[in-house]
């Protein structure tokens, strides 16, 4: 048996020397030093030897097993290195390549501006009122002092539905009527809300106009609200949005639901009012429409215009974002092009 042990030992060393891949190595391990390997089995038979031979045999068999295990481990690390070098050579996997970074999502530029606008108005005491996207013709137009066939309807090209009188809102102004009816408690309570939301217009899509876009409407109703309150509030908003030095300018305008009506310009933030292509060399950029709520609109909201007054305004977050980043084409906003979106 002793001779047999030495024989197996020599065979094992010899075979190990010829092994060049990890599959064959695994087989060799099972054959000689695994749980049912030849050396292991012989070690187990130590007990069957005559008592005086057991100690010597056991010691020798253990030494052999340790030696083979060590030789196995050395061979294993050598083969691993060779296999790695070979796979690098063949180029199937380059393990030295850095991992692919996982892209994180971000907020849409319109959402970012929308949130910024909402935060500013919240600081100034305006609550968010969510009005509906699908409106009726009455609330979108007639109750806002734009009767059927009135030429002012041309200001808003409308998406109609197959349901008579059901349309997509062309602006957030119908939310003024809904807020007054909802919060006003029959014209007895003051109101201070902003109404953010998507608007829809049946327009030819171009660099300057889209068929859908956000607006943020504002409405304040009280007992002694005056034009100076409107001007001061808007100027305060503009300075919170664009910085404390921002210059604001009001131009007389026309909207059927406000009287008087104005458009608001801020000093161009790209050229500091010097004149550039974005402000068309005027130094000013238009950011919203506003005015004192028309008596007819107050009455339609349930308020007595001899006692109550108010102001309203409406602005476009996309336009504000375009001016801020000098974005030339409004179509980028809803084109879902990652090259555009990932810049924000």
Instruction: Give the binding site for ligand PHE (CB under 6 A).
Output: 171, 173, 217, 255, 258, 289-291, 312-314
Of 28 and 215, the one with the shorter C-beta distance to ligand PHE is 215
Residue nearest to ligand PHE (CB): 314
User: How far apart are CB 248 and ligand PHE at their closest, in Å?
Assistant: 16
| Closer residue to ligand PHE in complex, CB, 157/182 | 157
The C-alpha atoms of residue 166 and residue 23 are separated, in whole angstroms, by 74
Give every CB contact of residue 144 below 8 A, 6+ residues apart in sequence.
173, 174, 176, 177, 256, 257, 297, 300
Cis peptide upstream of residue 311 (ω within 30 degrees of 0): no
CB-wise, 184 or 197, nearer to ligand PHE?
197
Q: How far is the CB of 173 from ligand PHE (least distance, A)?
A: 4
For the bound state, the minimum distance from the C-beta of residue 107 to ligand PHE, rounded and expressed in Å, comes to: 24
Q: In the complex with ligand PHE, which residue's Cβ is closer, 19 or 194?
A: 194
Distance CA 101, CA 87 (A): 24
Q: How far is the CB of 314 from ligand PHE (least distance, A)?
A: 3
Measured between alpha carbons, how far is 157 from 224 in angstroms, rounded to an integer? 35
Question: How near is the Cβ of 290 to ligand PHE at its closest, in Å?
Answer: 5
- Shortest reach from residue 156's CB to ligand PHE, in Å: 7
Nearer to ligand PHE, 200 or 255 (CB): 255
How far, rounded to the nearest angstrom, does the alpha carbon of residue 72 sit from its chain's CA centroid? 55
Give the up-direction half-sphere exposure of residue 237: CA atoms within 13 A in the CB hemisphere.
Answer: 28
Pick the closest to residue 5 from 68, 56, 60, 48 (CA basis): 60
Give the whole-angstrom CA distance, residue 222 versus residue 233.
14
Closest CA to 319 of 199, 234, 178: 199
Q: Which is nearer to ligand PHE, 57 or 308 (CB)?
A: 308
Burial grade of 314 (CB within 10 A; 0-12, 13-18, 19 or more):
buried
**Pairwise CA distance, residues 79 & 34, whole Å:** 19
- Min CB(287)–ligand PHE separation in Å: 11
Of 12 and 199, nearer to ligand PHE (C-beta) is 199
């Amino acid at each position: 048996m002793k001779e047999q042990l030495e024989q197996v030992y020599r065979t094992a060393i010899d075979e190990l020397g010829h092994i060049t891949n990890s599959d064959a190595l695994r087989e060799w391990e099972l054959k000689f030093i695994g749980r049912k390997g030849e050396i292991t089995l012989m070690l187990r038979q130590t007990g069957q030897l005559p008592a005086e031979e057991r100690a010597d045999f056991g010691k020798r068999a253990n030494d052999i097993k340790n030696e083979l295990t060590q030789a196995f481990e050395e061979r294993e690390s050598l083969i691993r290195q060779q296999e790695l070098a070979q796979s690098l050579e063949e180029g199937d996997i380059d393990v030295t390549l850095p991992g692919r970074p996982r892209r994180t999502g971000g907020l849409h530029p319109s959402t970012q501006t929308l949130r910024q606008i909402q935060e500013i108005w919240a600081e100034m005491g305006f609550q968010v009122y969510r009005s509906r996207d699908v409106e009726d013709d009455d609330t979108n137009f007639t109750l806002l002092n734009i009767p059927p066939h009135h030429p002012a309807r041309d200001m808003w090209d409308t998406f109609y539905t197959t349901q008579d009188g059901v349309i997509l809102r062309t602006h957030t102004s119908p939310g003024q009527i809904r807020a007054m009816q909802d919060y006003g408690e029959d014209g007895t309570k003051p109101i201070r809300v902003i109404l953010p939301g998507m608007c829809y217009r049946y327009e030819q899509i171009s660099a300057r106009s889209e068929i859908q876009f956000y607006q943020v409407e504002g409405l304040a109703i009280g007992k002694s609200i005056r034009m100076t309150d409107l001007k001061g509030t808007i100027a305060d908003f503009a300075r919170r949005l664009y910085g404390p030095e921002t210059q604001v300018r009001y131009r007389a305008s026309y909207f059927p639901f406000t009287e008087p009506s104005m458009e608001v310009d801020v000093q161009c933030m790209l050229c500091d009012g010097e004149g550039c292509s974005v402000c068309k060399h005027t130094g000013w950029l238009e950011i919203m429409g506003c005015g004192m709520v028309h008596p007819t609109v107050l009455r339609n909201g349930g308020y007595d215009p001899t006692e109550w007054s108010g102001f309203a305004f409406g602005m476009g977050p996309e336009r504000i974002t375009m001016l801020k980043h000098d974005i030339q084409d409004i179509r980028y906003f809803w084109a879902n092009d990652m090259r555009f979106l990932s810049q924000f």
